[in-house]
């Protein structure tokens, strides 16, 4: 059975800013769809403007891995939709939060911290250090790779200490950042990956970034296509017991 991915994109910058439109003419979600779609992976997309943000219970129930890109309109994602996504993660759905999704409602809810960071955008390059080369998400990557242009995200990144810290970002202006982090939440895995500012074509022309996201889909997908109960269960004794 193929891995069922849903790519959620806010899809605002691409319609309101010419230089973003040039990079992602049909939206970041479509670029990610083209990056991921193959025999083993089916991809559907959902955007903010759709009814219920395109994330109905039915869509989420048919999603193994949800990818999230948002920036300007985090506040417009209804709390009911955030709740629904949260419980699917608790049930085992994988979640990949990209770039400015650090500030999304769903990421902050899952982390329980502010998820704030330092940032500036001056077009500098970024060097990514792969600090856990044996990790499944890092397969096929060199130990270091460069991104020609990226928005600077710097520490402190106010996240809980990651369960798995696999990549660090370094910027020539002197900042460093935990660029690739994994957490377990309930039965689900959450991966945060920092590259992906909307004015640079890093989801189109950087093969290492594509490798990370392709590997991450396979890593965070649930072990089984199933719903796991997350409520408390009154348990009959497994063995006969006489008090
Ligand atoms: Zn950005």
Q: What is the pLDDT of residue 229?
A: 79
Q: Note the pLDDT tens digit of each residue in 224-241.
A: 755 677 889 899 999 999
pLDDT class for 127, splitting at 50, 70, 90? very high
Q: What is the mean pLDDT of residues 104-117?
A: 98
What top-level class would CATH report for the domain 3-114+180-220? alpha beta
Task: Kindly state the tokens that stand for 225.
Answer: 């296509």
Task: Kindly state the tokens that stand for 221.
Answer: 């997908």
pLDDT class for 130, splitting at 50, 70, 90? very high
- 138 alpha carbon – ligand 1 mean position (Å): 23
Rounded to the nearest 5 degrees, what angle is found at the Cα of 41, between the Cα atoms of 37 and 46? 70
- Cβ atoms of residues 177 and 168 within 8 Å: yes
Cβ burial of 27 (10 Å; 0-12, 13-18, 19+) is buried
Q: What is the mean pLDDT of residues 140-155?
A: 98
Domain boundaries, the chain: 3-114+180-220
User: Buried b vs exposed e over 172-185: b needs ≥16 C-beta within 10 Å?
Assistant: eeebebbbbbbbeb
Asked if residue 115 has pLDDT above 70, the reply is: yes
Task: Return the residue matching tokens 């439109």.
Answer: 21
Instruction: Round the average pLDDT of the chain to a whole number and report it.
Output: 96
- 151 alpha carbon – ligand 1 mean position (Å): 6
User: Which residues have CB under 8 Å from 232's CB, separation 6+?
Assistant: none
- 65 alpha carbon – ligand 1 mean position (Å): 22
- Cβ atoms of residues 201 and 221 within 8 Å: no
Q: What is the mean pLDDT of residues 121-143?
A: 98
pTM assigned to the model: 0.97
- 99 alpha carbon – ligand 1 mean position (Å): 6
Measured distance CA(18)–CA(69) in Å, rounded: 19
Q: What is the pLDDT of residue 47?
A: 98
Measured distance CA(123)–CA(7) in Å, rounded: 26
Ranges of H-type helices in 3-136: 13-16, 18-23, 28-36, 57-61, 79-90, 105-111
Asked if residue 131 has pLDDT above 80, the reply is: yes
- 197 alpha carbon – ligand 1 mean position (Å): 4
Q: Note the pLDDT tens digit of each residue in 186-208.
A: 999 999 999 999 999 999 999 99
- 243 alpha carbon – ligand 1 mean position (Å): 62
Q: Note the pLDDT tens digit of each residue in 38-96.
A: 999 999 999 999 999 999 999 999 999 999 999 999 999 999 999 999 999 999 999 99
């Amino acid at each position: 059975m193929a891995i069922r991915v849903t790519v959620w994109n806010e899809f605002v910058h691409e319609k309101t800013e010419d230089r973003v439109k040039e990079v992602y003419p049909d939206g970041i979600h479509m670029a990610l769809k083209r990056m991921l779609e193959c025999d083993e992976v089916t991809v559907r997309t959902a955007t903010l403007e759709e009814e219920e943000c395109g994330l109905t219970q039915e869509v989420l129930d048919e999603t193994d891995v949800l990818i999230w890109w948002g920036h300007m309109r985090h506040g417009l994602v209804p709390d009911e939709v955030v709740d629904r996504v949260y419980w699917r993660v608790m049930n085992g759905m994988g979640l990949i939060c990209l770039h400015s999704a650090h500030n999304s409602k769903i990421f902050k809810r899952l982390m329980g911290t502010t998820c704030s960071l330092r940032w500036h955008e001056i077009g500098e390059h970024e060097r990514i250090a792969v600090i856990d080369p044996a990790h499944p998400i890092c397969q096929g990557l060199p130990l270091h790779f460069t991104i020609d242009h990226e928005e600077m995200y710097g520490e402190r990144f106010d996240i809980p200490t990651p369960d798995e810290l696999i990549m660090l970002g370094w910027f020539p202006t002197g900042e460093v950042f935990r660029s690739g982090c994994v957490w377990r939440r309930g039965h689900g895995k959450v991966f945060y990956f920092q590259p992906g500012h909307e004015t640079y074509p890093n989801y189109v022309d950087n093969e290492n970034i594509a490798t990370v996201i392709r590997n991450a889909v396979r890593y965070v997908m649930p072990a089984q296509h199933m719903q796991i109960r997350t409520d408390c269960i009154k348990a009959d004794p497994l063995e006969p017991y006489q008090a």
